[in-house]
Amino acid sequence: MTDLSSHLHGLWLPLVTPFRDGRLDETSLRRLTRHYSGQAVDGFILGATSGEGMTLRDAELERLVAVVRDEMAAGRRTVPICLGLSGADTSRLKDRLDETADWPIDGYLIASPYYVRPSQRGLLAHFEALADHAAWPLALYNIPYRTSVNITNQTLLRLAEHPNIVGLKDCGASRAQSIALLRDRPQGFRVLTGEDANHHEALCDGADGGIVLSAHVETATFAAVHAELKRGNHDAALARWQEVAELTRLLFAEPSPAPAKYWLWRSGLIDSPEVRLPMVEISSELAAALDREIERRVRVAA
């Protein structure tokens, strides 16, 4: 295991969970792990939104983590793993922290409680209770358009003082809030954007990196955007970003991760584009658009 606080930067991949005939597809999972651990990826998020974590049974989630860790151990490179957890019951989430305490992970990515819409005092108490209880560090996940509650900067700055809360996946949908947080955050508290279409913008504003579903495709280009900005090469970073900016819109044209799974299937990285209900396969119109873009990028690469 690694020190998450020192590794929560750069390009993190929220790995999709491959399924086939209703089951976890371990063959495809191993193929994905081998492929992306060999890319310029700084960490994996498992079982979160892009990994369809809400549809995974406990045994499947445990197996998902075990297979990814095992495949990395057999390869040449290991990257940190954050396990995605979510829920609206603080007590139940504490139980999940206990149940996963001995799993081979490096930390947790925990979203705000959904549906119940707690107050800021409730959010503060919720996350402090989890951080006090967790065996591994926590990164918070602020995504109000899914949870119906925004973690304000006042609350985030209070939470950032907790020694077991080390960062944030920022999907707050407010650039002004994000910029203010980046300005006021304590040293060592990492902020990674989770908005694919705003990846370049967030990095220019000072984010430490991104958790980017679209980086399943053109991984090296997404990594290069960050690398060029770190070197101060803003024009080069913008040029690399323009190579993938439209891709981020295409992969979110219909509910994610179905478009990305279709692309990975067509590219031979997974054996099926299968998603679990209530997610459904992409439309024939989007499939045709993705096929055209795949073929275009193959021609350019050749």
**DSSP letters along 67-111, please?**
HHHHHHHHSS----EEEEE--S-HHHHHHHHHHTTTSS-SEEEEE
Numbers of helices and strands, H then E, in the chain = 13, 10
pLDDT at residue 75, rounded to an integer? 87
- pLDDT band at residue 157, thresholds of 50, 70 and 90? very high
Show the domains of the chain with their CATH numbers.
4-244 (3.20.20.70)
Residue with tokens 């899914």: 146
Per-residue pLDDT reduced to its tens digit, 185-238: 999 999 999 999 999 999 999 999 999 999 999 999 999 999 999 999 999 999
- Asked if pLDDT for residue 87 goes beyond 80, the answer is yes
Helix (H, G, I), strand (E, B) or coil at 51: coil
Tokens of 182: 């980046």
For residues 83-101, give the mean pLDDT: 97
Contact 86, 111 (CB under 8 A): yes
pLDDT at residue 2, rounded to an integer? 63
**Does pTM top 0.85 for this prediction?**
yes
- pLDDT band at residue 302, thresholds of 50, 70 and 90? confident
- Asked if pLDDT for residue 60 goes beyond 90, the answer is yes
pLDDT at residue 177, rounded to an integer? 97
> What CA–CA distance (Å, rounded) separates 210 from 193?
5
Helix (H, G, I), strand (E, B) or coil at 213: helix
Is 174 marked as binding a ligand?
A: no
* Burial tier of 14 (Cβ tally within 10 Å: 0-12, 13-18, 19+): buried
pLDDT at residue 1, rounded to an integer? 54
- Asked if pLDDT for residue 255 goes beyond 90, the answer is yes
pLDDT at residue 176, rounded to an integer? 97
Contact 112, 142 (CB under 8 A): yes
Q: What is the DSSP code string of 123-153?
A: HHHHHHHHHHH-SS-EEEEE-HHHHS----H
Is 211 marked as binding a ligand?
A: yes
> What CA–CA distance (Å, rounded) separates 63 from 26?
9
Q: Nearest-CA neighbor of 24 among 70, 56, 54, 46?
A: 56
Measured CA to CA in angstroms, residue 51 lies from 19, 201, 258, 288 at distances of 11, 25, 11, 24
Taking residue 12's Cβ as centre, other Cβ atoms within 10 Å add up to: 26
Active site residues: 141, 169
Contact 41, 218 (CB under 8 A): no
Per-residue pLDDT reduced to its tens digit, 116-150: 999 999 999 999 999 999 999 999 999 999 999 99
Q: Nearest-CA neighbor of 247 among 187, 288, 197, 286?
A: 197
